[in-house]
Amino acid sequence: MTTQVVSANRLDNGRVVYLAPSGQWIGALSEAEVAHDATAAESLLHRAATAIIDRLIVGPYLISVTAATGRPQAERLREQIRATGPTVAPAHHDRAA
Amino acid sequence: MVAIYHYDDADRTLVRERVAQFRDQVDRRLSGALTEEEFRPLRLMNGLYLQLHAYMLRVAIPYGTVSADQMRVLAAIARRYDRDYGHFTTRQNIQFNWIKLEETPDLLHDLAQVDMHAIQTSGNVIRNVTADHYAGAAADELDDSRIYAEIIRQWSTLHPEFSFLPRKFKIAVTASATDRAALKVHDIGVRLHERDGAPGFEVMVGGGQGRTPMIAKTIRDFLPEHDLLSYLEAILRVYNRQGRRDNKYKARIKILVHDLGAAAFAAKVEAEWAEIKDGPLGLPEAEVARIRHHFQPPAFRDLDAPNSLHVAKARIDPAFARWLRINTHAHKQPGYAIVDVSLKPVGGIPGDATADQMDALADIAAQYSFDEIRVTHTQNLVLPHVEEGALHAVWQALGRHGLATPNVGLASDIISCPGMDYCSLATARSIPIAQAISTRLADLDAQEDLGVLGIKISGCINACGHHHVGHIGILGLEKNGQEYYQLTLGGDPGADASLGEVIGKSFSAGGIVDAVEKITVAYRALRTPGEAFIDAYRRLGPAPFKETLYAAA
């Protein structure tokens, strides 16, 4: 199986978060806890279910990552964009006509 | 007084009670009294989605009409609750991308202060009613289509029978031979016209885009004004009873109309209508007059002699002359013009506007356009009532805020959905493709030479970027983890609507920009003098364009 981390959105503000080894839900994918097998992935989801009950997060799911550098990076573009934000700069105040 | 529907006490009470109700629902969600499964339909009923990065709130702008005061509140919301910008959509609404659930009740409270809300901007209900963005101003219109759009809005708002339809439902209204509202790709399109001097409606049903695009079928050529709501009610009743609820991909009314056939569907509507046409939904003339009163033309000055100041300025300033040619349109009132405000700067994000730009627009509208602004389904804005003598000043004021790009209707006036940069449903990015194409085709002389050319981009099969009706349509897909872009040609959203044809195998992100440019080069070579792109395509078919794209491959 691929290596995975669990991601979700915070309930209160909707921001993208990942479960860290500390048990905290953090914004940095690179600091997320990595599951290397199915049992570990199941454990991540189980802890996420607890976080739902605690009203911290919504919609947790596993995402595939590569961890070649020791820090997880999302495999799919969609998850890369979730991790780092839109690839386009929002409207600027100083647009020229 | 600005020509907009003015809430009465009942309207205000309804909206404020809804804010209080949602505040309680949010409190209960945050306290754990409601689960996400219980809360999700409640937040969607208030336009609040959970998107890729955060909550997104879609605010209703009925038929795209917004006052200067309302625009200022939208700007303030962008600053206080978002990241200083908002995104105007193909449904004449505005979306805010970075909303916090815990702040949403306060945001809705702020909206309610200027008679705005997010009710029915999501869910399987009748959504925001859209209309001709030049309504009340266009020289070619028969009447102000917003009058009927507002009547439909009032009928459809919190309609108890239609709060759980099989799927979402979109209605558009025009009152002109020129279709500026894409009627034929709506669940219902309503077009006001005249017969023997009396007004009535052509009713089209079953259009739509998404994964199964279809052109609406006319099921009534001429419906008397009095019968508008009872007939719409009959259509909705047939759909509500017989539309599929077992498969969300087959649940839109277009599937029902297609499966039954337009004639059989119409017969069912007529049978239903016969039961209710003489009931309470008949439109009394007095009620139409009451609504019409809200849309009285503003206090235009009586400008007998044409003001030639803008003509003189245009003679000495080619940039102003270009903007006049491209971004202004004929007004019904002598001495006035309609001004298109482009939200498509070269390399920009289609439909985005900063809080500062919204405030600037509000100021300009207050000074020059009787406090009125319109949102177009092509993701631009409109100042509907500008004195010709003020056009130069308006152009300069817009230009100071990056709002005077003279490209409305041209190749760089691209419709684009938010795509995978924001949307949780998307399969590919669309904004970067729009940016790259508008940059590649930026030369304004070349764009004018190309003429009217609608490039429309969707980041998934749901087609929010209207690619099916793009002269050049682009659909972003994911294959094996890579973004690919499918090209369609020959779509058109107008009165002679057509769906684009897939032209061949898809392109990479870089390749699609080259492909679009090649299509424009081929069109230039193949057109007859004065022939628009869509007319050339309809004459020539796909073959020469396919050859251009794939022959050397």
Mind giving me the DSSP string for B31-60? HTSS-HHHHHHHHHTTTEEE-SSSEEEEEP
Indicate whether B368 and B449 sit together in one domain.
no
Contact B38/A at CB under 8 A = no
| Number of CB pairs, chain A paired with chain B, less than 8 A apart | 97
Residue of B30, B43, B87, B352 to mutate, testing the A interface (most A Cβ within 10 Å of its Cβ): B352
Q: Quote the pLDDT of residue B311.
A: 81
Q: Which residues of A touch B431 (CB under 8 A)?
A: 86, 88
Nearest-by-Cβ selection for B30 from A12, A75, A90: A12
For B397, the closest chain A residue by CA position comes to: A97
CA distance B116 to B11: 10
Find the domain containing A41 and state its range: 3-84
Contact A78/B at CB under 8 A = yes
Residues sharing a CB contact under 8 Å with residue B471, sequence separation 6 or more, in sequence order:
B452, B453, B454, B455, B489, B490, B491, B492, B500, B533, B534, B537
Q: What CATH number is attached to the domain comprising B335?
A: 3.90.480.20
pLDDT above 70 covers a percentage of chain B that reads 99
Q: How far is A80 from chain B (nearest CA, A)?
A: 10
pLDDT at A93 over 50: no
The angle formed by the CA atoms of residues B521, B523 and B527, to the nearest 5 degrees, is 135
Q: Which residues of A touch B426 (CB under 8 A)?
A: 78
Indicate whether B334 and B381 sit together in one domain.
yes
Find the domain containing B81 and state its range: 9-112
ipTM: 0.93
In a domain, B120, yes or no: no
Indicate whether B191 and B263 sit together in one domain.
yes
Q: Quote the pLDDT of residue A95.
A: 41
Indicate whether B329 and B431 sit together in one domain.
no
pLDDT at B425 over 90: yes
In a domain, B108, yes or no: yes
Q: What CATH number is attached to the domain comprising B284?
A: 3.30.413.10
Using 50, 70 and 90 to split pLDDT, how confident is the model at B519?
A: very high
Q: Closest Cα partner for B362 from B50, B10, B69, B122?
A: B69
Tokens of B486: 């499918």
Identify whether the C-beta of residue B136 lies closer than 8 Å to the C-beta of residue B384. yes
Please state the domain count of chain B.
4
In a domain, B138, yes or no: no
Indicate whether B69 and B150 sit together in one domain.
no
pLDDT at B402 over 90: yes
pLDDT above 90 covers a percentage of chain B that reads 95
Q: Which residues of B touch A77 (CB under 8 A)?
A: 420, 478, 481, 483
In a domain, A96, yes or no: no
Q: How far is B443 from chain A (nearest CA, A)?
A: 13
Binary contact (A91, B478; C-beta < 8 A):
no
Nearest-by-Cβ selection for B422 from A77, A86, A94: A86
CA distance B176 to B193: 7
pLDDT in tens, B163-213: 999 999 999 999 999 999 999 999 999 999 999 999 999 999 999 999 999
Nearest-by-Cβ selection for A58 from B36, B353, B421: B36
Contact A50/B at CB under 8 A = no
Angstrom distances, CA of residue B169 to CA of B124, B129, B240, B465:
7, 10, 11, 17
Q: Closest Cα partner for B222 from B197, B176, B253, B191?
A: B191
Contact B55/A at CB under 8 A = yes
Indicate whether B342 and B424 sit together in one domain.
no
CA distance B275 to B181: 31
Contact A59/B at CB under 8 A = yes
Q: How far is B483 from chain A (nearest CA, A)?
A: 9
Angstrom distances, CA of residue A33 to CA of A37, A59, A61, A67:
12, 18, 13, 11
B322, with CB counted inside 10 A (0-12, 13-18, 19+), is: middle
pLDDT in tens, B272-288: 999 999 999 999 999 99
| Domain end among B71, B87, B112 | B112
Using 50, 70 and 90 to split pLDDT, how confident is the model at A94?
A: very low
Binary contact (A14, B349; C-beta < 8 A):
no
pLDDT in tens, B313-328: 888 999 999 999 999 9
For B28, the closest chain A residue by CA position comes to: A55
CA distance B154 to B160: 12
pLDDT in tens, B289-347: 999 999 999 999 998 666 777 888 888 999 999 999 999 999 999 999 999 999 999 99
Binary contact (A91, B399; C-beta < 8 A):
no
Q: How far is B101 from chain A (nearest CA, A)?
A: 5
Indicate whether B345 and B476 sit together in one domain.
no
Please state the domain count of chain A.
1
Q: Which residues of B touch A61 (CB under 8 A)?
A: none
Q: Closest Cα partner for B156 from B122, B129, B190, B118?
A: B129
Looking at residue B13, its amino acid is T
pLDDT at B216 over 90: yes
In a domain, B432, yes or no: yes
Indicate whether B287 and B164 sit together in one domain.
yes
Please report which helix (H) or strand (E) contains residue B199, including its range: strand B198-205
Q: Which residues of A touch B478 (CB under 8 A)?
A: 77
Q: What is the three-class DSSP state of B148?
A: helix
Which position has the token pair 């702040």?
Answer: B103
pLDDT at A92 over 60: no
| Domain end among B112, B133, B165 | B112
